[in-house]
Amino acid sequence: MPCPDCDCEAFWLTAQWAAQGMATVSPMRPNTNSTGTSSNASRTPHPLHRPSLSSFPSSSKRSVSHSTLNNNDLALNTTRSSGSHPSSAHSYHSSLSASQHPHDYDHGHQYPVSPANGHGNIRPRASRRQRPVRSQYPATSDEKHVEYILVASFDIDRGSIMEHQYPGPVGGDEHMLAELMLPDQTHLRSQDWTVFFLHKDAAAEEEDEEDGLTAKKRRRRQRSEAGQASAGAEDEDEEDEDSSDDEGPVDGPPLVYVLNLVNTKQDNTVKRGAVVKAMAICTRHSFLHIYKPLLLIALEQYFANPHMDTLAELYHAVNSMDLSLMPKLNAFERFILQSSDTKDLFIEKFEAIIAQQMAANDRPSLSHKESKDDTTALPTLSPKDINQPLARRYGLPRDTHEFESVVNYANIPVPIKVPTALSPETVGDFSLIKLITTFSTPHSTSPVAFAPTHPHLTTNGSMTHPIIVLLNAMLTQKRVIFMGHNLPSSEVAEAVLGACALASGGMLRGFTRHAFPYTDLTKIDDLLKVPGFIAGVTNPAFAFRNEWWDVLCDLSTGRVKISSKIEQAPLTEGVAFFHNQPPASAGGYHAPGTGGMSALAHAGASLSAGLGGGAAPTGATGGDLTGDAAFMQSVIKAIEERHGENAIRSKFRKWVLKFTRLAAAFEETVYGASALHIQPSPKLHNSPFFVNADSPGVSNTTADSPVDTDGARKASQFDADHLPPEVTGHGYVWPTPGLKSAELAANATRIEGWRNTRSYYNCVQDLAGLYIHRPVKSLDLQHLHDKLAKLRLGHEPAANIYLALCAAVQTDSEICQLLAVCIGGTWDHRQQAGSVGQGSGLFYLAMGLLHPRVEVRESVADLLTRIQEHEAGRHFWAGVGRFGRVAFERVLAGREARLAPGAAEGGE
């Protein structure tokens, strides 16, 4: 093999195919449904104001809709398209001016290098100052796991009645709640489950927010008076960063999730020979399915002892559940944990929070008030300092994806598993595999064309896959009904919850707030007032009233119907833009005399299997410009190969991620700016990642930033005003301009339909909030990683990208952001058929170890060294193949030999 030190192009090209055995990402975790949406636990009601709960959204002024956000509001978050930028000729994107965020390092001084062991799975380095790990549910918090427990029954003379509410009345229409707890035809089944949501009134929520702000100011003032303001500044920033991920929804107060169990007991001594009772748990936790075994026991207890004491015992049992040792993860850590099956991923956080708890128990002088007001002041111990018997008593988890606890109820220890990483819009226990199979099987065996068609829904024509029609309907805020005639209400509720998670992809919000997992005809007037609802019903009367819905999903037949009375899509500027523009071929040539949307099929574009990524469609899918058909083929094949529930969810997560990136590129192309990308201020004089050491006013050194002996970051040889064009871009990457035009044109109607929905405006605000706390603000790491994966770069452009990544990614939080990009990045087209949907791991980063330039290879080696020492990065390094490990060790050995004393004289 040629020497890597030579500048031989043959070596660089040969290494690209040879390194295919270099890295593999950690496989997806096995089939599990233990995921959910993070939600705040209930707060103690104000003593003078009892919250009112309703099963329909409030019409509060705080509700965000497309009418309340105008173009002036969005102007603050837009980017200007600059298609004339030199970099656009390479990746066909709009470039940006990045903000100042210095991250430079010394190639050989700061990080001492040692060859990796056989596995390379080393533990993280000891930080200079370890931050305390915060708990998702602190033991000192006043928030309760369960707010209310309800019991309803059916009386032959009075209908559905509410028997008991504990610890007090919920508020609102009790008769309506009782009807929701006792669904239609429930007397025909011995057992049934339902899920529905209650909306807290805005007045009570505003009081709670004011109380929370007051408490936060009080804690800050107490720290300042204690002389901890300076020392605790960094901890407070970390607290703000974590809390930003858990802020309440921007479109209203947080939901109250209700899990309801209905039992029918045969009894010949009563009228109609049966007793029907229902018990429900009201909680702010979206993982409400964990309470199912407790409800089964409690309802049996209530049949035997129908008194309030039975409810009180259950209420106190569930609220005594201890989740204080469940660490709080940021957005990138949650994404990494959900995308990996490694059972000890982030185990260090569990060890640290156990150590903090043990240290707190050793401080008897600490009062309850102090521990409550200063939760971040707990000391942090090293994992090696943990006493093993105590650690076993505290319960180090066997699988960090789920936190195990026990609830003692009715003298029965009931094991509970709570998901550690929670995704937005994921409520309860459902199966995307079941939902997809229900509508895919009839479509594959006897396909039926959609009539009528709709530009927002049938993006692949009349034979669009039903799951794609459902996905488009959710994204474009159509009225969707799931009908399950003669099916248990639990099945329609599960389908509604699965559809919300399908469209959300763990990213978008605004679906569950307007979802009704189960409803009936008595509430149709209120339902029709909700725009873009998603509802589950069992009454077949809904199927005959097509003015009530836009899309009907029949669970009994597995068919999806589009209403003949659906509102037609208006002709928007974006659709007209691509309709009037002649399509470009794959080589960028505009064929004369060809124009309009229909001519796109002749563009010769080989899309990357649509929003899922992957190989170019061929054969029957050759006209699949959106890539939806190829994407669904990969999903169906993954289901057939039993890849598991989480693998399917990962596929749709990437589908939604790419859709939002396509939408940003669409807006920049058509309107010149995008609300889905935030452009750093162009007025900064310094480079975001190559900083001149002599520049005044540069002081961004953090506690765990690499520093030299003088305590300042090392300078780079790059000048701030001469950034390479390969580094300054952002957004989705296309190999050619023809592919970009074809893919944006094919998705134009769907994107335009999404731009005026709740989920779009929520996405804009979520991205703005995430940007504030994003470790690397000045670079689009996903964009740079995609360039390495998709484009055929020369030596110099590749070197600039590698050096930029190595200089920008220094601290643990920055490494975490990069790992999230790697694990959820570009799909490998060679594994697309039936692929699990996993990312490429460190493959494309490790390719830099084979670059002809020695400084690039050593910079990449330093970056990989930092990744190995990261608590999550060490698991990524464990997936690197032998070829990559050998290249890594050769680079380190070469640098050691080059820097060894007397090496220069020996060379002479």
Three-state secondary structure string covering 442-470: HHHHCCCCCCCCCCCCCECECCCCHHHHH
DSSP 16-53: HHHGGGSB-PPPPPPS--------PPBPPPPTT-PPPE
Bigger pLDDT: 367 or 289? 289
Per-residue confidence (pLDDT) for residue 222, from 0 to 100? 56
Q: Is the pTM of this model over 0.75?
A: yes
pLDDT at 58: 59
pLDDT-based confidence at 337, cuts 50/70/90?
very high
Q: Which residue has the higher pLDDT, 407 or 23?
A: 407
Q: Is the pLDDT of residue 446 over 70?
A: yes
Report CA-CA distances (Å) from 581 to 256, 414, 623.
Answer: 49, 64, 19
Sign of the torsion angle spanned by Cα atoms 566, 568, 574, 580 = positive
DSSP assignment of 316-378? HHHHT---TTSB---HHHHHHHHT---TTTTHHHHHHHHHHHHHHHT-TT--HHHHHH-GGG-
Beta bridge partners of 260: 194, 280
Structural element, H or E, at residue 135 = none
Mean predicted lDDT score pLDDT of the chain: 75
Higher pLDDT, 754 or 102: 754
A 10 A CB-CB count for 713 gives: 25
Domains of the chain: 36-58+149-227+237-422 (no CATH), 426-569 (3.40.50)
Confidence at 411, pLDDT banded by 50, 70, 90: very high
Confidence of residue 41 (pLDDT cuts 50, 70, 90): very low
Do the Cβ atoms of 664 and 731 come closer than 8 Å? Answer: yes
Taking 60 as the threshold, does the pLDDT of residue 865 lie above it? yes
Q: Is 247 helix (H, G, I), strand (E, B) or coil?
A: coil
Which amino acid is located at 83 in the chain? G
Average pLDDT for 613-634? 66
Task: Say which residue the tokens 């689009």 belong to.
Answer: 780
Q: For the residues 110-125, what does the mean pLDDT come to?
A: 41
Least confident of 181-185, 278-282, 366-370: 366-370
Residue 214 has a pLDDT of 56
Q: Which tens digits make up the pLDDT trace of 662-715?
A: 999 999 999 999 999 886 643 333 344 444 333 333 333 333 333 333 333 333
pLDDT digits (tens, 9 = 90+) for 216-248: 556 555 555 554 444 444 444 444 444 444 444
State the pLDDT at residue 799. 96
Please name the residue that has the structure tokens 């960028």: 588
Q: Is the pLDDT score of 82 beyond 50?
A: no
pLDDT band at 534 (very low <50, low <70, confident <90, very high): very high
Q: Compute φ and ψ for 844, nearest 5 degrees.
A: -75, -25
Q: For residues 110 and 903, which has the higher predicted lDDT (pLDDT)?
A: 903
Give the pLDDT score at 345. 92
Beta bridge partners, 166, equal 149
Which of the given ranges, 117-121, 189-193, 279-283, 569-573, has the highest pLDDT on average? 279-283
The encoded tokens of residue 618 equal: 């061929």
Q: Are 22 and 411 in contact (CB under 8 A)?
A: no
What's the average model confidence in pLDDT over 586-591?
40
Q: Is the pLDDT of residue 318 over 90?
A: yes
Where is 229: in which H helix or E strand? none
**DSSP state letter for 895:** H
Q: What is the mean pLDDT of residues 317-334?
A: 94
What 3-state DSSP class applies to 539? Answer: coil
Q: Residue 84: count other Cβ atoms within 10 Å of its Cβ.
A: 9
* Structure token pair of residue 135: 């708990």
| pLDDT at residue 563, as a whole number | 96
* DSSP assignments along 159-225, one per residue: EEEEEEEESS---S-HHHHHHHHS-TTGGGSSEEEEEEEEEE-HHHHHHHHHHHHHHHHHHHHHHHH
Q: Name the band, by pLDDT with cuts 50, 70 and 90, for residue 118.
A: very low
Contacts of 400 (CB under 8 A, 6+ apart): 337, 343, 344, 345, 346, 347, 350, 420
* Chain-centre distance for alpha carbon 555: 28
Element at 407 (helix H, strand E): strand 402-409
- pLDDT over threshold 80, residue 372: no
Mean pLDDT calculated for residue range 449-470: 95
- Rounded Cα distance, 891 and 861, in Å: 7
**Coil vs helix vs strand at 391:** helix
pLDDT attached to residue 221: 57
Which residues have C-beta within 8 Å of that of residue 431, sequence separation ≥ 6? 33, 494, 498, 645
pLDDT at 627 over 80: yes
Tokens standing for residue 137: 């549910």
Give pLDDT tens digits for 456-465: 999 999 999 9
Q: What average pLDDT score do residues 528-540 get?
A: 95
Q: Does residue 747 have a pLDDT over 60?
A: yes
Q: How would residue 590 be classed by pLDDT, with cut points 50, 70 and 90?
A: very low
Q: What is the pLDDT, as a whole number, of residue 212?
A: 53
Percent of the chain whose pLDDT exceeds 70: 64
Smallest Cα–Cα separation from 330: which of 338, 320, 322? 338
Helices within 481-621 (DSSP H only): 489-504, 524-527, 573-580
Give bridge partners of residue 274 from the DSSP assignment.
266
Q: Of all residues in the chain, what percent carry a pLDDT higher than 90?
A: 50
Between 220 and 553, the higher pLDDT residue: 553
Write down the pLDDT at residue 364: 57
Is the bond preceding 112 in cis, omega lying within 30 degrees of 0? no
Q: Which run of H or E residues covers position 669? A: helix 645-671
pLDDT at 858 over 60: yes
Q: What is the structure's pLDDT at 71?
A: 38
Q: Which of 779, 711, 848 is nearest to 110 (CA)?
A: 711
Which candidate, 25, 23, 22, 110, places its Cα nearest to that of 819?
25
* Range of lowest pLDDT (359-363, 378-382, 395-399, 692-696): 692-696
* CA distance linking residue 529 with residue 131, whole number of Å: 48
Q: Residue 153: is its pLDDT beyond 50? A: yes
Rounded to an integer, the average pLDDT of 257-268 is: 91
Confidence of residue 840 (pLDDT cuts 50, 70, 90): confident
DSSP 55-69: SS----TT---TTT-
Per mean pLDDT, which range of 96-100, 439-443, 547-551 is the poorest? 96-100
pLDDT (average), residues 21-48: 39
**Average pLDDT over every residue of 173-195:** 86
The predicted pLDDT at position 155 comes to 85
By CB atoms closer than 10 A (0-12, 13-18, 19+), residue 486 is exposed
Q: What is the DSSP string of 104-123?
A: ---TTTSS------SS--PP
Residue 622: pLDDT above 90? no
DSSP line for 817-883: HHHHHHHTS---GGG-TT------TTHHHHGGGG-SSHHHHHHHHHHHHHHHTSTTHHHHHHTB-HH
Question: What per-residue confidence (pLDDT) applies to 229?
Answer: 42
Nearest to 292 by CA among 301, 283, 303, 281: 281
**CA of 398: how far to CAs of 251, 342, 386, 831, in Å?**
38, 11, 17, 31
Band of pLDDT at residue 190, cut at 50, 70 and 90 = confident
Find the mean pLDDT for residues 28-47: 39
Bond before 452 cis per omega within 30 degrees: yes
Phi, psi dihedrals of residue 888, rounded to the nearest 5°: -60, -45
What's the CA angle centered on 338, arms 336 and 341, to 5 degrees?
95
| Highest mean pLDDT, choosing among 1-15, 165-179, 311-325 | 311-325
Alpha-carbon span 45 to 203, nearest angstrom: 12
Q: Taking a C-beta distance cutoff of 8 angstroms, is the pair 516, 497 a contact? A: no
Residue 600, pLDDT > 70, answer no
- Tell me: pLDDT of 125 over 60: no
User: Which token pair is 798?
Assistant: 């590749």
Decide which of 273 and 283 is more confident. Answer: 283
Residue 509 has pLDDT above 90, yes or no: yes
| The residue count for the chain | 908
Pick the more confident residue, 1 or 273. 273
pLDDT of residue 905: 55
Measured distance CA(39)–CA(549) in Å, rounded = 30
Measured CA to CA, the distance from residue 234 to residue 101 in angstroms comes to 17
Sheet harboring 146-155: ordered strands across? Answer: 53-54, 191-200, 255-266, 274-283, 146-155, 159-166
Q: Count CB-CB contacts under 10 A for residue 109.
A: 11
Task: Find the mean pLDDT for residues 832-860.
Answer: 80
Distances in whole angstroms, Cα of residue 671 to Cα of each of 665, 704, 726, 755? 10, 41, 24, 12
On the question of pLDDT at 367 being above 50, the answer is: no
Does the pLDDT of residue 890 top 50, yes or no?
yes
- Whether the pLDDT of residue 485 is over 50: the answer is yes
Report CA 277 to chain centroid distance, whole Å.
38
